[in-house]
């Protein structure tokens, strides 16, 4: 059950009781540690929760346990972290190594035993009950480029075991000392906003100012006071965003900032420290940042104010919303990285005018508001959104296009480009259909801005199809009765495979997507991996599969099922 109080008020920043200076953990690799990404860096829909450590552009670097402990969790997936290992340590911390190429022998054996038990390649399982112990400095596998990685590297995390909060590894002296950084953060600009009392940005009421350096000093607006009069809006306030990033020695990658402070007339009014992150709240980065600037212009603007639906525990103080009559004055921004390097910007604001624009949020019925339950009920299309479903007031956009090649009209609700925090309920009325129509194969589809149709899901319930999207946009009623297509790529019926290292297949689905896949050799389950980048399903012929092979004819059977339960099965005889 959704908890409005949990989403609206969240948790406040509290320093962790961790001995950052005294704990002595070793590095996860025995090469120079150069970062491609750091903790708290802005990514799509989330803050980065670890360090991306370069591996000299190659896979296969040795990885080592940073401390003694037990393997607590193993993940294997074509997406996300790819091949990943979690180790629980006696010091109350958990280390995570992701995007690996392979595991060490005993970890690999444990992972395979779970895959075999589940009859599935994809694995995400707590394995503490199997008690695989590793010593500090023990080899645990090879670095790689698996999952959603775009280049070879190690994604390394430190988590607090009891809470599973991800901790900034650079807070630990033992890691920070191995990653040199003498580069100051960058403050590229500031953005001024008119916001509501709850911190919502007033549409069309913001101004960006770039920074430049003059005689060694960082300035905005040529060093002159900034006139905020163009922002004046009824029932609104002033707020400030900071465009700031960081870099570390040895790489040109844009990284995230660790600590910022906004002061007015020498008094701190807003302060942020990204020391730890709660995974349950991480997607709320979309309300911490200026989402539109990041999405359209790749500008990393940290709002130095917050909305009532922001539960991120990164704010040491949050008083960044200022009444218009108190905005005049001198302001200072300090930005620090985890190594203590600092950049500062000073500027001043003034209000010269006294003409206030109308606040569009005051117009009744024009917007849905994030801190409320929102419902739209039409005779053939309905929406229910709990509080904190979205981040900023949502303009009430609804269109019904009856000219459609689908089973229903095309219903537009909101804009596809607007970010959504959590799934919400959409219902589409089922029109009159032919007798014996497979109504339980009906689902909800979403058409993107590029006219790509994706499958949302959904179930038939008393004349409606109910789905739970995580996007706004154009919705339609679809039906999926076609099973996945299984196509062998490098073998055919009767093929001699004695010299093969693997067998390769392609499995495709026209609509709801491949949901599960299995392979059996001579009636026994055999591992079939999905290699996402190549779009191939691969059956290794190795020490695990060879004992199942017989001299002569062997029966290979492959089964694939889509998300609507449509199933395909194909069999071949291969010769070994």
pLDDT, averaged across the chain: 96
Please give the pLDDT value at position 9. 56
pLDDT digits (tens, 9 = 90+) for 471-505: 999 999 999 999 999 999 999 999 999 999 999 99
**Residue 449, by phi and psi: left (phi above 0), alpha (psi -120 to 50) or beta?**
alpha
Please give the pLDDT value at position 109. 97
The residues with which 460 forms a beta bridge, in sequence order, are 465
pLDDT digits (tens, 9 = 90+) for 173-219: 999 999 999 999 999 999 999 999 999 999 999 999 999 999 999 99
Residue with tokens 């319930």: 461
**CA-atom Rg of the chain in angstroms:** 27
Answer for the pair 264, 319: CB distance below 8 angstroms, yes or no: no
Tell me 351's DSSP state.
-
Sign of CA dihedral 158, 163, 165, 167: negative
- 351: tokens are 């209000």
* pLDDT(277) > 90: yes
With a CB cutoff of 8 Å and minimum separation 6, the contacts of 261 are 268, 270, 271, 272, 333, 334
CA angle 534, 535, 541 (to 5 degrees): 75
If you average pLDDT over residues 296-317, what whole number do you get? 95
If you average pLDDT over residues 565-570, what whole number do you get? 98
User: What number of other Cβ atoms are within 10 A of residue 284's Cβ?
Assistant: 25
Domains of the chain: 18-176 (2.70.70.10), 186-350 (no CATH), 363-479 (2.60.220.30), 485-575 (2.60.40.1220)
pLDDT digits (tens, 9 = 90+) for 209-254: 999 999 999 999 999 999 999 999 999 999 999 999 999 999 999 9
pLDDT digits (tens, 9 = 90+) for 3-15: 444 445 556 899 9
> What is the H or E stretch that residue 255 is in?
none
Predicted confidence band of residue 547 (pLDDT cuts 50, 70, 90): very high
pLDDT digits (tens, 9 = 90+) for 509-542: 999 999 999 999 999 999 999 999 999 999 999 9
If you average pLDDT over residues 158-167, what whole number do you get? 98
Tell me 534's DSSP state.
T
Q: What are the counts of helices (DSSP H) followed by strands (DSSP E) for the chain?
A: 5, 45
Tell me 542's DSSP state.
S
- 151: tokens are 């280049």
What CA–CA distance (Å, rounded) separates 291 from 322?
21
What CA–CA distance (Å, rounded) separates 268 from 263?
4
Please give the pLDDT value at position 131. 84
pLDDT digits (tens, 9 = 90+) for 64-116: 999 999 999 999 999 999 999 999 999 999 999 999 999 999 999 999 999 99
Q: What does the DSSP assignment read for 286-333?
A: HHHB-HHHHHHH---EEESS--TT---TTEEEE---B-GGG--EEEEE
Give the 3-state secondary structure of 59-86.
CCCEEECCCCEEEEEEEECCCCCCEEEE
- pTM, two decimal places: 0.94
């Amino acid at each position: 059950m959704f908890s409005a109080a949990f989403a609206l008020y969240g948790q406040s920043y509290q320093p962790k009781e961790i001995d950052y200076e005294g704990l002595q953990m070793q590095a996860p690799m025995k090469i120079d540690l150069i970062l491609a990404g750091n903790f708290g860096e802005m990514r799509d829909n989330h803050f980065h929760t670890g360090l991306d450590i370069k591996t000299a552009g190659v896979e296969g670097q040795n990885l080592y346990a940073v401390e003694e402990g037990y393997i607590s969790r193993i993940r294997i997936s074509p997406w996300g972290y790819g091949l990943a290992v979690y180790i629980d340590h006696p010091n109350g911390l958990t280390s995570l190594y992701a995007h690996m190429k392979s595991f060490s022998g005993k970890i690999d054996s444990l992972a395979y035993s779970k895959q075999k038990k589940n009859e599935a390649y994809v694995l995400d399982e707590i394995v503490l009950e199997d008690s695989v112990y590793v010593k500090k400095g023990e080899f645990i596998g090879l670095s790689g480029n698996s999952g959603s990685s775009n280049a070879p590297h190690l994604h390394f995390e430190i988590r607090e075991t009891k809470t599973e909060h991800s901790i900034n590894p650079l807070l630990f002296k033992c890691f920070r000392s191995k990653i040199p950084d003498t580069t100051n953060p960058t403050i590229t600009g500031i953005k001024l906003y008119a916001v509501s009392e709850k911190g919502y940005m007033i549409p069309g009421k913001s101004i960006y100012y770039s920074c430049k350096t003059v005689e060694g000093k960082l300035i905005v607006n040529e060093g002159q006071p900034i006139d905020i009069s163009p922002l004046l809006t009824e029932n609104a306030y002033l707020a400030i965003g900071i465009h700031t990033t960081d870099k570390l020695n040895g790489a040109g990658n844009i990284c995230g900032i660790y600590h910022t402070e906004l002061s007015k007339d020498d008094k701190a009014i807003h302060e942020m420290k990204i020391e730890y992150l709660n995974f349950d709240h991480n997607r709320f980065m979309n309300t911490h940042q200026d989402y539109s600037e990041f999405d359209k212009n790749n500008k990393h603007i940290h709002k130095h104010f917050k909305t009532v639906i922001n539960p991120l525990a990164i704010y040491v103080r949050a008083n960044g919303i200022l009444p218009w009559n108190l905005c005049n004055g001198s302001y200072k921004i300090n930005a620090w990285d985890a190594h203590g390097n600092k950049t500062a910007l000073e500027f001043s604001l003034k209000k010269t005018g006294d003409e206030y624009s109308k606040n569009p949020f005051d117009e009744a019925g024009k917007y849905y508001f994030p801190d409320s339950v929102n419902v739209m009920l039409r005779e053939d299309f309905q929406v229910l959104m709990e509080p904190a479903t979205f981040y900023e007031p949502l303009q009430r956009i609804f269109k019904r296009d009856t000219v459609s090649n689908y089973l229903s009209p095309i219903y537009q609700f909101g804009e596809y480009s607007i970010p959504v925090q959590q799934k919400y309920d959409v219902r589409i009325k089922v029109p009159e259909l032919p007798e014996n129509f497979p109504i339980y194969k009906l689902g909800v589809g979403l058409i993107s801005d590029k006219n790509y149709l994706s499958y949302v899901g959904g179930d038939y319930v008393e004349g409606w199809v109910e789905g739970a999207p995580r996007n706004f946009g154009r919705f339609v009623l679809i039906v999926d009765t076609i099973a996945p297509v299984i196509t062998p790529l490098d073998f055919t019926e009767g093929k001699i495979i004695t010299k093969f290292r693997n067998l390769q297949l392609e499995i495709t689905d026209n609509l709801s997507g491949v949901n599960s896949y299995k392979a059996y050799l001579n009636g026994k389950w055999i591992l079939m991996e999905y290699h996402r980048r190549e779009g191939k399903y691969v059956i290794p012929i190795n020490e695990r599969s060879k004992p199942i092979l017989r001299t002569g004819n062997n029966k290979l059977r492959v089964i694939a099922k889509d998300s609507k339960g449509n199933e395909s099965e194909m069999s071949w005889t291969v010769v070994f």
